[in-house]
């Protein structure tokens, strides 16, 4: 494994444990050259079996990192731990795998991301939805915002 700080491949594993959802191994590593520490995740291969059908009908390989990246952007400056985002991305990935369908619409994946974000942080959900759903005007955006606010008050 190459050190992300000095780019050398001489490191040692300090700690190794399964993630909370059991879908990956988290390894804490220390570079033997620069002594900086970093974390890696080891997962079972299988993403290449999933293909995403984009809105314009293009097809590309599923990339869990893209799902996670979109969620991270939506949660920027929000109190959502990265472990929860990792777990949400894993749930999406494993749900897609377990469905047995090898070609998935990007719309379905986007809805799954919105569902996960809605559970984690309503502000992040609205951020993601505003980009993903491409609201045509302020009225559409406000309608969705009122819906989310209304759901929040029902739970109290």
Instruction: Delimit the domains of the chain by residue range.
Output: 8-44, 47-154
Nearest in space to 106 (alpha carbons), one of 147, 82, 70, 143? 70
The pair of structure tokens assigned to 123 is 């502000």
pLDDT of residue 134: 72
- The alpha carbon of 74 is separated from its chain's Cα centroid by a whole number of angstroms, namely 10
Please tell me the distance from the alpha carbon of residue 58 to that of residue 54, in angstroms, as a whole number.
Answer: 5
Phi, psi of 23 (to 5 degrees): -95, -5
| 53 close to 107: Cβ distance less than 8 angstroms | no
| 123 close to 76: Cβ distance less than 8 angstroms | no
What's 47's DSSP letter? G
pLDDT by position in tens, the chain (length 156): 899 999 999 999 999 998 776 777 889 999 999 999 999 988 766 555 789 999 899 999 899 999 999 999 999 999 999 999 999 999 999 899 888 788 999 999 999 999 999 999 988 988 898 777 777 777 877 887 787 777 655 544
């Amino acid at each position: 494994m190459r050190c992300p700080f000095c780019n050398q491949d001489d490191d040692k594993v300090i700690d190794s444990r399964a993630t909370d959802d059991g879908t990956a191994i988290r390894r804490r590593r220390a570079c033997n050259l620069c002594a900086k520490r970093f974390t890696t995740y080891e997962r079972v291969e299988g993403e290449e079996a999933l293909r995403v059908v984009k809105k314009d009908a293009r097809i590309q390989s599923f990339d869990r990192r893209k799902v996670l990246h979109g969620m991270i952007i939506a949660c920027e400056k929000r109190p959502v731990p990265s472990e929860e985002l990792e777990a949400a991305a894993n749930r999406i990935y494993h749900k897609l795998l377990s469905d047995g369908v090898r070609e998935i619409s990007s719309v379905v994946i986007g809805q799954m991301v919105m569902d996960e974000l809605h559970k984690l942080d309503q502000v992040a959900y609205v951020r993601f939805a505003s980009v993903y759903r491409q609201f045509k005007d302020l009225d559409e955006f406000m309608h969705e915002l009122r819906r989310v606010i209304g759901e929040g008050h029902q739970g109290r």
